[in-house]
Structure 1
Amino acid sequence: MTTSQAQTALPTTSKALCAVYGVIAAAALIATWSQNVAYLDNPGRFLLHFFIDSKVTPASRSLTVDIVLFFLAAAILMVIEARKHGVRYVWAYVVGGLLIAISVTFPLFLIARELRIGRADPTRLSTVDTALLALLAVVAAAVTIWVDMV
Structure 2
Amino acid sequence: MTRHWTPLAAVYLVVAVAGLVGTWTYNAIAIAERNDFIGDLVSSGPAVSSITTDLLVVAVAGSILIVAESRRIGMRFAWAYIVGSALTAFAFTFPLWLAMRERRLAAIREATPVGPA
**Interval of TM-score (by shorter of Structure 1 and Structure 2):** 0.7 to 0.9
1:101 aligns with 2:89: yes
**Structure 2 counterpart of 1:136:** none
Aligned length: 109
Query: TM-score, with normalisation over the residues of structure 2?
Result: 0.82
1:76 counterpart = 2:49: no
**Does 1:53 find its partner at 2:40?**
yes
Runs of at least 5 residues in structure 2 that lack an aligned partner in the other structure:
111-117
Identity %: 38
Find out whether 1:20 has 2:11 as its counterpart: yes
Number of the residue aligned with 1:67: 55
Paired position in structure 2 for 1:143: none
For residue 118 of structure 1, give the secondary structure of its aligned residue in structure 2.
helix
Structure 1 unaligned regions, length at least 5: 1-5, 123-150
TM-score (norm 1): 0.65
Q: Alpha-carbon deviation of 1:97?
A: 0.9
Amino acid at match of 1:68: L
Distance in structure 2 (CA, Å) of the matches to 1:98 and 1:36: 13
* Aligned-partner Cα distance in 2 for 1:121–1:53: 46
> 1:70-91: CA deviations, max 9, x gaps?
1110010000011111111111
Q: For 1:59 and 1:16, locate their aligned partners in 2 and report how far apart those are by CA, in whole Å.
A: 36
Give the drift of 1:38.
Answer: 2.1
**Displacement of 1:58:** 1.5
Q: Which amino acid aligns with 2:77?
A: Y
- Are residue 91 (structure 1) and residue 114 (structure 2) matched? no
Q: For residues 42 and 89 of structure 1, do their structure 2 counterparts lie closer, same or farther at Cα, with a shift above 3 Å needed?
A: farther
How far is the alpha carbon of 1:113 from its aligned partner? 1.0
Q: Which amino acid aligns with 2:45?
A: T
In the TM superposition, what is the alpha-carbon distance from 1:41 to its structure 2 partner?
3.9
